Structure 1
Amino acid sequence: MKIFAFFAALFVATATGTAHAQDRHITVNGTGSVEAAPDMATLSLGVTTQADEAAAAMRANSQAVAAVLSQLDQKGIEPRDIQTRNLSVAPIWSGRPQKEEERRITGFVASNRVFVRVRDLDHLGEILDAVISKGANDLGGLSFALQEPEPLAAEARARAVADASEKARQLAEAAGVTLGRVISIDEHGGARPVMRRAEMAMADAGNVPVAPGEISVEVSVSMVFEIAD
């Protein structure tokens, strides 16, 4: 029994020492960001028409959308950068159910929404003005992006790792220990493009003025370093 107790105590002491050794590390978070001017915009253009009959509403809508698409083609937008996302026809009801009034259909509304990528921002305002003048009466959104974000993401990752490494060095120096090898690196959520100072204003006449601002590609990492001594 004494021999068994001795080996059991030795096992516990060894396990405890191993656990403490594994706990000798420094964990830090680092962030990196790179700013750049966007070189692409995505538009959400809608055409909404109304008529007494569903077929008439859709016919008028199709004609207006065809004019918008023709204008986009004339402005050099490639077919691969144009996509119809939503197409609908819905009745227009009169009367209010909460008042127990008789409801009836008084007409129909047709809607078609097209998403467009503009790869030449120098002509963005001109394109917006052209499609609005040809019948696009619902501008649902405008966002800016980068056609090739990966080089910026790679630079942001390098900056994030450098930021985390510097923090670990400072912590080790403050604690009076020696910083060892990297045990692990984790990236949180991947590279994230974030808009900076982007805005758009509608004009009464002429081209629509657009300010694309900047896009910041941000990366966050978590790193674990070994304490060498």
Structure 2
Amino acid sequence: MIRMMTAAALAATFPLAAAAQVAPTATVAEGTLLDVVAEGRVNRVPDIAVIRAGVVSQGATAAEALSANARQMASVLTALKGAGIADRDIQTATISLSPQYRYAENQPPVITGYQASNSVSVKFRDIARSGTILDTLVKQGANQIDGPSLTIDAVDSAMDEARVDAVKRARERAALYARALGMRVDRILMVSEGSDGGAPGPVPQMMVRAEAKDSTQIAPGEQQVSANVRVRFLLK
């Protein structure tokens, strides 16, 4: 997005809520104003995987279903901690208990038993080991696994690099327009940061089988982190 106007005709303020803004400190002399919007980008390999692992159990009564579920889930939690997963990286996600019904035509539903489920959200800080740990969880009774959600741990550092790249791109674009117009970039009058964020890559799909002989693997791929800036230049 490029916008140019003469400085003498400009009276409007910059139309963006900015996280950081530098306003002009002196009266702008006659010249041409150039507004440039630029996006900076950096790529990072995700180093955090969040996966939900749980247990679904059946029982003739609600108490039996909950009891069986508790025993299986205790084994899963023990396996997680035995694999070196810290307590701060294990968080209960869902606990549920529901009756199971048998339906027959022209008859009211009949409760045939109960189903209990319990799942935890697990943060793996070593993606390379997460597949092996998941295999261990299945052996310990986990029969419900969802995910992974892959993220970047040091996202603030990546964002700062993207911001620097955005400013660099804005300056290069301004210099290009100045040359095309037979002018030069005199100075920057205003900098405004726009919306930013990471664009997540494709989420790997996992199939977990209780009798699987092959080790589960998670490919982290690459994610892009981007930042947008708007820069107002004075051309002379």
Q: Does 1:57 align with 2:69?
A: no
**Distance 1:219-1:21 versus aligned 2 partners, 3 A rule:** closer
RMSD: 2.4
Q: Is the 2:148–2:203 contact (alpha carbons within 8 Å) kept by the matching residues of 1?
A: no
The residue that corresponds to 1:73 in the other structure is 81
Code of the aligned partner of 1:80: R
- Which TM-score applies when normalising by structure 2? 0.78
1:158-217 deviation line (CA, Å, top 9, x unaligned): 00111122122212222333333323323233332532x663554731321221112222
Q: Does 1:226 align with 2:224?
A: no
Moved more, 109-118 or 37-46: 37-46
Deviation at 1:120, TM superposition (A): 1.9
User: Would you tell me which structure has more helix in proportion to its own residues?
Assistant: 1
Code of the aligned partner of 1:185: V
- Cα distance in 1 for partners of 2:76, 2:214 equals 18
Which runs of 5 or more structure 2 residues have no equivalent in the other structure?
A: 1-5, 13-31
**Distance 1:123-1:162 versus aligned 2 partners, 3 A rule:** same
Q: Is the 2:41–2:227 contact (alpha carbons within 8 Å) kept by the matching residues of 1?
A: yes
Alignment counterpart, residue 85 of structure 1, candidates 76, 82, 93: 93
Map 1:1-229 → 2, pairs under 5 A: 20-22=9-11, 24-95=32-103, 101-195=107-201, 199=204, 201-202=206-207, 204-227=212-235, 229=236
- Cα distance in 2 for partners of 1:33, 1:113 equals 36
1:59 is paired with a residue whose SS is: helix
Larger radius of gyration: 1
- Which TM-score applies when normalising by structure 1? 0.80
Which runs of 5 or more structure 1 residues have no equivalent in the other structure?
A: 1-16
1:199 is paired with a residue whose SS is: coil
Code of the aligned partner of 1:112: N
